[in-house]
Amino acid sequence: MPANRKETFTKKERLISRKEIGRLFEEGNRFTVSPFRVIWGITNEERDFPVKFLVSVPKRNMKKAVDRNLIKRRVKEAYRKQKDELYSVLEGKEQKINLILVYSSSTSEQYEVLYDKISNIIDRLKKAIDQ
């Protein structure tokens, strides 16, 4: 595992496999932290990072691409800053998960609000993993 991974978000950390994404939508665990729908699942895949992450902002909710991209940038940055908490829990249990955040609001949120919501999501994931 790369030593300098604390505040990076590399391509290897992104969930891009259509097969894995489809499996998560069909069989994944779900919960909601407004404005996000969180879909996650434990995987046995061998990889360098404990979490593969995807952010989705549906066109149905945000019509303009610039607005969708802004939300995705803010969410990725908030996740990048806080992911180490989740990584340490997963590494302690030697588990790996796939994680999808679907932004379901039709209005744009400020970075600080998204940061707090991501923090809540990470806390709920840590509790779910500990069970």
> pLDDT per residue over 13-28, tens digit each?
999 999 999 999 999 9
Counting every residue written for the chain, the total comes to: 131
Contacts of 72 (CB under 8 A, 6+ apart): 55, 57, 103
Domain boundaries along the sequence of the chain: 11-130
pLDDT digits (tens, 9 = 90+) for 64-115: 999 999 999 999 999 999 999 999 999 999 999 999 999 999 999 999 999 9
Q: Residue 5: which pLDDT band, with cuts at 50, 70 and 90?
A: low
Contacts of 107 (CB under 8 A, 6+ apart): none
Class of domain 11-130: alpha beta
